[in-house]
């Protein structure tokens, strides 16, 4: 378990290119709704390289969130495998998955999903409660993250005292505080005005470039997608790269 969340340089970014982080092979997922079977996708195959920033687009109901959930170990595919950093997560138990998520996945939600009863600081600290870090170490990490997202002065504010954009920045800080290997964003700018959305996208770009974070972002917004290295499309169960 890494306890140094942000420690990467542009040099290492280049070095890790060509290095496969996520290997999704022949993924299939169907939902049973009442008597009806809904096939979301049947043969999705995708490799994500270390340090890549990918955007995923597609019509509503095409299965973008489903793919993201499976990749985060929140949902399970019917067939196929998801290998992250050499580990096939589809074979992990729920318990193992939870532990794995806490170190390997950073998730950014459309509706921020901060805990309303906790301050910005406490929200960011939340994932660190699952580590063995001391209180002092946790403090250092949280403050570093709040600095990265530019909210040091808002540490003691509760979510309801923050704007949407600020809340989402806290959400991002929370996603990266445990130094995950991949950041997943499900429409992270979907609920924001264009100015705040731009700030968030810039922040994500910076995370990718400056801190060498691998990012997969679902979005409906073409402008947002442009910030990524590459835009993929999911439609009718087929992933176009």
CA–CA distance, 209 with 13 (Å, rounded to integer): 8
Instruction: List all residues 6 or more positions away from 41 whose beta carbon is below 8 Å from its beta carbon.
Output: 27, 28, 29, 63, 66, 67, 234, 237, 238, 239
Other beta carbons less than 10 A from residue 97's beta carbon: 18
Residue 94 interaction partner, one of Mg ion, ligand ATP, another protein, none, beta carbon < 5-8 Å per kind: another protein
For another protein, the closer CB: 63 or 227:
63
In the complex, least distance from residue 35 CB atom to another protein, rounded to whole angstroms:
19
> Using the rule CB under 5 A, is 65 a contact of Mg ion?
yes
Residue 41 interaction partner, one of another protein, ligand ATP, Mg ion, none, beta carbon < 5-8 Å per kind: none
In the complex, least distance from residue 234 CB atom to ligand ATP, rounded to whole angstroms:
7
Are 212 and 91 in contact by the 8 Å Cβ rule? The answer is: no
Instruction: For residue 164, give the nearest of 182, 142, 139, 187 by alpha carbon.
Output: 187
Are 30 and 77 in contact by the 8 Å Cβ rule? The answer is: no
CA–CA distance, 200 with 138 (Å, rounded to integer): 24
For ligand ATP, the closer CB: 33 or 132:
33
For Mg ion, the closer CB: 109 or 211:
109
Q: Which positions lie near ligand ATP, rule CB under 6 A?
A: 31, 33, 38, 40, 58, 60-66
- Token reading at 119: 């301050």
- Which span (60-68, 125-133, 163-171, 193-201) binds Mg ion, by CB under 5 A? 60-68
> Using the rule CB under 5 A, is 196 a contact of Mg ion?
no
Residues of this chain that bind Mg ion (CB under 5 A) = 65
């Amino acid at each position: 378990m890494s306890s140094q969340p942000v420690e990467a340089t542009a040099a290492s970014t280049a070095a890790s290119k060509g290095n496969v982080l996520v290997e999704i092979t022949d993924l299939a997922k169907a939902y049973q709704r009442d008597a009806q079977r809904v096939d979301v996708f049947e043969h999705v195959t995708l490799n994500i390289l270390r340090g890549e920033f990918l955007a995923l687009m597609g019509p509503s109901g095409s299965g973008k969130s489903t793919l993201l959930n499976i990749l985060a170990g929140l949902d399970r595919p019917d067939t196929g495998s998801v290998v992250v950093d050499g580990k096939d997560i589809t074979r992990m138990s729920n318990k193992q998955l939870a532990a794995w998520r806490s170190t390997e996945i950073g998730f950014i939600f459309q509706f921020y999903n901060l805990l309303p009863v906790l301050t910005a600081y406490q929200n960011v600290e939340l994932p660190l409660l699952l580590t063995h870090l001391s209180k002092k170490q946790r403090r250092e990490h949280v403050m570093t993250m709040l600095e990265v997202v530019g909210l040091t002065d808002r540490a003691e504010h509760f979510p309801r005292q923050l704007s949407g954009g600020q809340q989402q920045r806290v959400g991002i800080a929370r996603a990266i505080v445990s130094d995950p290997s991949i950041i997943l964003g499900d429409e992270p700018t979907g609920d924001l005005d264009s100015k705040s959305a731009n700030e968030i996208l810039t922040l994500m770009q910076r995370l990718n470039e400056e801190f060498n974070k691998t990012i997969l972002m679902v979005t409906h917004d073409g402008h947002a997608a442009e910030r990524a290295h590459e835009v993929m499309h999911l439609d009718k169960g087929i992933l176009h790269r």
